[in-house]
Structure 1
Amino acid sequence: MLRIAICDDEPRELDILCEYIKEYLNIQPWDAVVKTFSHPDNLLTAIETESFHVYILDIVMPMHSGLELGQSIRRISREAQIVYITTEPGYALDAYAVNPLHYLIKPVEKQALFSTLELAFSKVDFGREITVTVKNKKGLRTLSADQIAFCEYKNHAVRYTLINGEQVETTTLACGFAEHIAPLLRDARFLSPHVSFALNMSRVEKLTREGFYLRDGDFVPVSARQYSTVRNAYLNYRLSREE
């Protein structure tokens, strides 16, 4: 399912954009969720616990500009499609520092937005959206890599901690932990710093010799023998986000 976020501090402009996007979705075969944000802080809070495929951002907003907002999004996702909208064409050059898909001038023309949405949706690679299917006491549940902060193997089961704070625990595994998390480790954001843990590096606040401190306060240990390898992998990940 496509997930679209719109952020504009002008209520009328936000309503128009939302109306246009919903109109486009009504005539196209896309299953999508659209969420609107009237303040950049609200979107920054939202992306702590959920992700979007397409972001439509006003550039001139209070507290955090759309450019700063785009930089925060890029630190989390290089694949997200960012579209900027503004009344100020002079910001276009600065906007391209975060590699946006397109730049639309207000008032946004419906057909121009429709063309941009078509391009944005065509670039969303659902094939790269990695998921893991786990069996728990309630049955089977599929978790997107985007949802997972980290997981821990203990007593032959795996407990997943999601970025919204929810915990999902598997029943007893029929295989080893390494085999179980192999699909997850195909996602460039994930790393196994310890024989019993795997984590999403986009959630990391800092790394010490003892382990990773995550943004929500959780801690994931690093094996002493693997520290240099883990540190290098994490640094490479961070550098790739800044390119």
Structure 2
Amino acid sequence: MIQIAIVDDERAFLESYTHIVEKLFAKNRIEFVVQCFYKSEEFYHLLKRNYFDIVFLDIDMPEINGINLAADIRKLKLETTIIFVSSHSNLVFQSIHYAPFRFIQKDCLEDDTSEAIHAYCQQIKEKKNTIQLKIENGETYCFNLMQIQYFYSVRHDLFLVYSNKKIAKRLFPRAYTMDALGKMLHEKGFIRIHKSYIVNFKYIHQIQSDKVLLFDNSTLPISRSNVANVKRQYKVIMREDDAI
């Protein structure tokens, strides 16, 4: 799920622009959450605690302007995509220092934003840490694997669970099997711990004799006969991840 921030000190513009951004991400079939910030200082204080995949920054703001916010994002070495949104086209050259993905001019707002979001969505779909899956309404979406805790099945129904607020998504009926998902995700850091559960190794805190404990203290069942194999897979993935 893509985490989006929009920062602009004009309330009316912020509200209307949020609708534009939401509409365009939905059109590109990307799962997303948007947070809006009327005060740039509030966004600044959240930077160290909250990760955003993409940020739309106004430049001319009181308190902390968009250029300074971009500088802070780069100082923190965050892999956040920055898009400047401004009516001051003369600032485009100054903004280049912070490697923005796009510079959107407010007098070409919808066209520029549409192009930028489409290009961004195409880019993330090509990354290895995403997967395209058909959900229960029949539409195919791109999911960020880093934010999926696990998959589970109930009879023939398969679900994925997000780390963010434990959101569960039901996959399209009979489009997938646990065996097929297991093979698809094996090279992406997911481990089949039970016939009904496939877990992202990054969320595993402890592998016990009868369950797997996740970092959020939730537990999942593990097949007793599979404990040694799961531990072995976990160690292999951990070594590979440390080597990257």
* 2:128 match: 127
- Return the offset for 1:62: 2.5
Q: Please say if 1:179 is aligned against 2:179.
A: no
Task: Decide whether aligned partners of structure 1 residues 9 and 21 sit closer, same or farther in structure 2, where only a CA change above 3 A counts.
Answer: same
CA–CA distance in structure 2, aligned partners of residues 127 and 97 of structure 1: 28
1:175-214 → structure 2 map (5 Å cutoff): 175=231, 178-185=235-242
| Corresponding residue SS for 2:3 | strand
Residues 5 and 36 of structure 2 are in contact (CA less than 8 Å); yes or no, is this contact kept in structure 1? yes
1:133 and 1:142 in contact (8 A); partners too: yes
Aligned partners of 2:26 and 2:205: how far apart in 1?
A: 42
Q: How many residues align?
A: 177
Tell me the equivalent position of 1:10: 10
Amino acid paired to 2:8: D
Contact 1:40 1:64 survives alignment (8 Å): yes
CA distance in 1, matches of 2:5, 2:97: 20
Distance in 1 (alpha carbons) for counterparts of 2:109 and 2:20: 9
Partner of 2:116: 116
Residue aligning to 1:196: none
**Which letter does structure 1 place at the counterpart of 2:60?**
V
Distance in 2 between the 1:2 and 1:47 partners? 16
Q: SS where residue 3 of structure 1 aligns? A: strand
Gaps of at least 5 residues in structure 2 are: 131-144, 147-188
- How far off its partner does 1:140 sit? 5.8
d(CA) in 2 for partners of 1:77, 1:51: 8
Distance verdict in 2 for CA 1:108–1:17, change over 3 Å: farther
Q: CA deviation at 1:114?
A: 0.6
Query: Sequence identity, in percent?
Result: 15
Alignment of 1:77-226 (within 5 A): 77-78=78-79, 80-124=80-124, 125-128=126-129, 131=146, 133=190, 174=228, 175=231, 178-185=235-242
What letter matches 1:5 in structure 2?
A
Normalization by structure 1: what TM-score?
0.56
Gaps of 5+ in 1: 189-243
The structure with the largest alpha-carbon Rg is: 2
Per the alignment, residue 31 of structure 1 pairs with 31
Counterpart of 2:152 in structure 1 is none
Q: Deviations over 1:164-211 (max 9, x none)?
A: xx567899974367535235425x6xxxxxxxxxxxxxxxxxxxxxxx
After TM superposition, give the deviation of residue 55 of structure 1 in Å.
Answer: 1.2
RMSD: 3.8
Could you tell me how far apart the structure 1 residues matched to 2:200 and 2:207 are?
Answer: 19
Q: Does structure 2 retain, via aligned residues, the 8 Å contact 1:5–1:52?
A: yes
Q: How high is the TM-score relative to the length of structure 2? A: 0.56
Name the SS for the 1:84 alignment partner: strand
Q: CA deviation at 1:109?
A: 2.3
Deviation at 1:47, TM superposition (A): 3.5
Partner residue in 2 for 1:192:
none
Using the TM superposition, give the Cα deviation of residue 100 of structure 1 relative to its aligned residue in structure 2, in angstroms.
Answer: 0.4
Deviation for aligned residue 1:8: 1.0
Change (3 A) 1:143 1:93: farther
